[in-house]
A and B are shown apart, each in its own frame.
Chain A
Amino acid sequence: MTAVIEPGALAPDLALIGVAERARAFCAEYVDGRAGDFERDAWIPAEVVAGLGAYRLWGAVLPKAVGGTGDGMEAFGDLHAEVGRACSSVRSLLTVHSMALHALERWGNAALKLRWREALIEGNLVGAFCLSETETGSDARSVTTTATPVADGFLLNGRKRWVTAGQIAQVLLVFARTPVGVSGFLVDADGPGVSREPVTELLGTRASMVADISFDDVFLPREQLLGREGMGLMLAVDALDIGRLSVASGSVGVIQAALDESLRHAAKRVQGGGPIFDHQLVQRLIARMSVDLQAARLLCTQAGRLKDKRDPGTINATCVAKYYSSTAAMRAAQDAVQILGAVGCGPGSTVARLFRDAKIAEIIEGSTQIQELLIAEAARQEHATRQR
């Protein structure tokens, strides 16, 4: 009698494999070869979003000890690098979701955790991060959205811009001004008074389902305040720290993809009697990509390990990783387009998509220039310490 192997019987046991391995399996099943379609459609299909849940990737920012599905922040970086290699837009969903889930775990009260934590870990609900406004970007102190105290809670009014996953998210991490100062709230995106407007024709991460979100007299029970009133800046820094590691790691994935595409093309494209890989000027570009890949990966690993140790140095290490990885991704994507030439500029070009996505990585979660300010200040402090 012939043994029959049931469908799915050979699939990996998700309870036994690590988050990075689950990420690879998820990408192989749901994303590899489809990122161009996602970008063209400016949409990530529902089955891909569900696939992140099937592979238990939504909750990876939280350790298993608190009900999460992660293996620590170093592995969190590996996850975002792998998904970033396959598609920056999909990675961006994990970025903002992780920021919201981390904020809930770190700053939320018991009632709020009971209401939303499990659903966010499982991916039954998607989270998003709402800080930017028309006149508010990196300077979180300048938010104009207001949360006015009323009986038993607050009334939220204002408009947030450039909200990644804003078209589909159900739980929003929103920063608003109260009489005490900037404060953080979790908001039900499907509640009364919340409206969304899709943002289209973005330069990059076009499938990240960005929206502008307006709040019109949205009542927030007091339990939806995170931490305490006036602690919003610290809360934003904390969430952005998670986002920066995600973007840094996703940029590692972009460099990997650019290198893969460059090597594939350089091996088969013949000019001057041989493959263009044989040209030393092409090899120089490849070499720089390869070194950048290794350096960026090491910086992300360092930032993740310091997070796992709860070492205060992780804040600066994450800025360094984000700064280096995102700028290196831009270099790599630019060089990959150069190596592929006209093919790299044509419709449906993978490297053109990488180029567009890399530029976004240089801007979000603190632009390159903001990272430079922070890194320079940390260097000054370290220097002063050594001089004493």
Chain B
Amino acid sequence: MLDSVSQTARSFIEPRLPRPVSDDEDFFALGTVNSLFAMELVLFVEDSFGTTVPDSELDLANFRTIGAITALVHRLSNTAGAVQAS
């Protein structure tokens, strides 16, 4: 089953790239996106998934691939859920 987070991330990211990328492909390495795009990605994650990316997760490694972004969103969702449940 396709991950809806991954699909949402892909729909935002791929139009900015010259070609489709796999989930684990570093799209910053394609050389067509810049540091402005990194900031847009942070805003995208926060806006689309209703979360705040904490200081400890503001690492470019979390935004380099669709897989990393998907993992980040799931991690943040689990953290928020754990906080709500406690």
Would you give the shortest CB distance from A145 to chain B, in whole angstroms?
Answer: 18
A361-388 to B contact mask, C-beta < 8 Å, 1/0 = 0000000000000100100010011001
* Assembled-state Cα–Cα distance A381/B40 (Å): 14
Contact A238 B39 (CB under 8 A): yes
List the A residue with the shortest CB-CB distance to B47: A310
Measured as residues with beta carbon below 8 angstroms from the partner, the interface class of chain B is 10 to 19
Q: Are B58 and A231 in contact (CB under 8 A)?
A: yes
Contacts of A233 in B (CB 8 A): 35, 38
Asked whether A315 lies within 8 Å of B40 as measured between CB atoms, the reply is yes
* Contact for A384 among B15, B34, B55, CB less than 8 A: B15
CB pair B43–A315 under 8 Å, yes or no, is yes
Q: Does A64 count as interface, using CB distance less than 8 angstroms?
A: no
Q: How far is the CB of A184 from chain B (nearest CB, A)?
A: 11
Q: A304 CA to B32 CA in the complex, in Å?
A: 27
* A384: chain B residues within 8 A (beta carbon): 15
A107 within 8 Å of B (CB atoms) = yes
The interface residues of chain A lying within 8 Å CB-to-CB of B60 are 230-231, 234
Q: How long is the Cα–Cα vector from A271 to B12 in the complex, in angstroms? A: 59
Q: Is B59 an interface residue (CB 8 A)?
A: yes
Whether A314 pairs with B58 at a CB distance below 8 angstroms is no
Asked if A268 is at the interface (CB within 8 A of a chain B CB), the reply is: no
A234-B35, A316-B36 known; 19 new pairs, CB 8 Å cut-off, are A108-B55, A109-B55, A140-B35, A227-B58, A228-B59, A230-B60, A231-B58, A233-B35, A234-B42, A234-B58, A234-B60, A237-B35, A310-B46, A312-B12, A312-B43, A314-B43, A315-B39, A315-B40, A377-B34
User: Can you name 12 A-B pairs with beta carbons within 8 Å?
Assistant: A108-B55, A109-B55, A231-B60, A234-B35, A234-B38, A234-B39, A234-B58, A310-B46, A311-B43, A312-B47, A374-B36, A384-B15
